[in-house]
Amino acid sequence: MLKPKIKISAAVICCVLAFVLGLSVQFLAAARVDATWGLLYQALSIVRTQFVETEVKDDKLIYGSIRGMLRALDDPYTRFVDPEGYADMQTHLNGNFAGIGIQIGMKDSVLTVIAPIEDTPADRAGFKTGDRILEINGKSTEDMSLEQAVSLIRGPKGTKVTLLVLRNLNEKAKDYTLVRDNIKIKSVYRQKMLDEKNKIGYIMLSTFESKLTYAELVEAIQGLEKKGLQRLILDLRNNGGGLLDEAIAISSIFIQNGEIVHTVDRYGNKETFQSVAVDYQWYTKPLVILINGGSASASEILAGAVANNGRGQLVGTQSFGKASVQNIRPLSDGSAILVTVAKYLTPDGTDINKVGISPNFVVEIPTASIEEALNDPDYKYSEEKDVQLQYALDYLRQL
């Protein structure tokens, strides 16, 4: 019986070769990964079998390995959070936690105060934007991750924490011992009608970290509208930012149709976030936003969107310059990794990371006013002495 002749086309041969070569490449890559991770297993084995202390828990070693791996990325915002810290973080996002009330970040690789939260232990102790935290309870913050710093600063209500703080490079660092308290995050800290004649309203938005930020702001605007609001000052000074979704929703209150922010991922892919449909009818009247060096992250998204879409003016000083997007990735044991997945650009394509947003009208706080606030223990804030606020008021009155 004759066997049929089988013809194999060149295309089939190419496909088979590609498949085989593809598998070979995968196997080689896997082998390289296995060899690299083998070093980690060797190191763990040496510690387990030879380290002088026998009571070293595996989770401590694994957590330390993860922290070291993430620290090697040289990104202060990509960090590991242990199960306890992740549980605290979820509580924090819901608006309650115990601590001293400061938002911190990395500035020139130094743990730095972005802003104190108003009416908290840190605020009452006089913490300022730009303060450098050198030690926490005697432990140096050099090479310390943000997660470790947050974990050390927070604690049960009524307990104490001591921070060594450097304010000016030509001065000596100073110890601050604070008593931790329950911190209730209130996004809208202050609202009022500043000028009844011209119907100029004022709202201080202190954070975007609460999931209720959008709802609180809408309620505040509607409250002022009942009093005849015609022009608005939105104060984002010392607002350290928070949730991207809240920033987009709040930007959409002022921008009916327009770009809010672009994000660029690891492959250079750009995603554009447009304004979204919101419950509140758009605020279309004149708007001024106050910013300063403590305005960061989501605050900068809102400020950039308003400025680029021609929806308002920015008054104050250069913002902080934190333009990266983090995702929270829970792990199997209740811990999590906060990983930077993208950087963001303002609608006009500007990368503000480590640079910040420039206001339309630069208004500096006089040095004499700063020194008075720092040196006078009985100093009280006065709207009349707030030169940035007064500039915004004068601008809106001229309209």
Q: How far apart are CA 278 and CA 255, in angstroms?
A: 10
Q: Model confidence at 2, in pLDDT bands (50, 70, 90)?
A: very low
396 and 233 in contact (C-beta within 8 Å)?
Answer: yes
Q: What is the pLDDT of residue 32?
A: 55
Which 3 state secondary structure label does DSSP give 243?
coil
> Which residue in 313, 318, 326, 358 is the catalytic one?
326
Most confident of 38-52, 140-154, 258-272: 258-272
- Taking a C-beta distance cutoff of 8 angstroms, is the pair 233, 392 a contact? yes
Highest mean pLDDT: which of 46-50, 144-148, 380-384? Answer: 46-50
Q: How far apart are CA 11 and CA 154, in angstroms?
A: 64
pTM of structure: 0.71
Question: Active-site residue 65, yes or no?
Answer: no
Burial class (CB in 10 A: 0-12, 13-18, 19+), 399: exposed
pLDDT on residue 11: 47
Can 297 be counted among the known catalytic residues?
yes
Structure tokens at 16: 């088979």
Length of the chain, in residues: 399
- Model confidence at 376, pLDDT cuts 50, 70, 90, reads low
Domain definitions of the chain by residue range:
79-94+96-184, 188-325+340-398
Specify the CATH class of 79-94+96-184 in words: mainly beta
Give the residue-averaged pLDDT of 332-351: 93
- The pLDDT > 70 percentage for the chain reads 86
Q: Look up residue 229 and give its two tokens.
A: 């609001």
**Does 146 have pLDDT greater than 90?**
no
For the stretch 102-127, pLDDT in tens is: 888 888 889 999 878 878 999 899 89
pLDDT digits (tens, 9 = 90+) for 25-62: 444 444 555 567 788 888 888 988 899 988 888 888 88
Across the range 118-138, mean pLDDT stands at: 91
Across the chain, where does the E strand assignment appear?
A: 79-81, 96-99, 102-107, 110-116, 132-136, 139-140, 160-166, 174-179, 181-184, 188-195, 200-205, 231-235, 259-264, 270-274, 287-291, 313-316, 324-330, 336-345, 361-362
Residue of 107, 128, 199, 322 marked active site:
322
What is d(CA 233, CA 236) in angstroms, rounded to the nearest whole number? 10
Cα-Cα-Cα-Cα dihedral of 139, 161, 79, 111, to 10°?
Answer: -70
141 DSSP 8-state letter: -
207, pLDDT greater than 80: yes
DSSP characters for 274-317?
A: EP---SSPP--S-EEEEE-TT--THHHHHHHHHHHTTS-EEEES
DSSP secondary structure letters along 307-342: HHTTS-EEEES------EEEEEEE-TTS-EEEEEEE
For position 370, what pLDDT does the model report?
58
Q: Is 90 exceeded by the pLDDT of residue 86?
A: no
pLDDT at 154: 86
pLDDT at 377: 55
Active-site choice (297, 299, 319, 388): 297
Of the candidate ranges 143-152, 178-187, 263-272, 358-367, the one whose mean pLDDT is the lowest: 143-152
Q: What whole-number distance in Å separates Cα of residue 199 and Cα of residue 209?
A: 30
Give the tokens for residue 261. 């922010």
Q: Assess contact for 262 and 345: CB atoms under 8 A.
A: yes
Nearest CA to 325 among 344, 299, 347? 344
Any idea which of 93-97, 141-145, 347-351 has the lowest mean pLDDT? 93-97
State residue 378's pLDDT score: 58
Q: Token digits for 105? A: 């970040």
Higher pLDDT, 391 or 156: 391
- In degrees, rounded to 5, the angle at the alpha carbon of residue 269 between the alpha carbons of residues 267 and 271 is 145
Supply the pLDDT for residue 233: 98
Mean pLDDT over each residue of the chain, to the nearest integer: 85
Whether 326 sits among the annotated catalytic residues: the reply is yes
Over range 3-16, report the average pLDDT: 45
The topology (CATH level 3) of 188-325+340-398 is: 2-enoyl-CoA Hydratase; Chain A, domain 1 (3.90.226)
Q: Pull the structure tokens for residue 242.
A: 């928070």
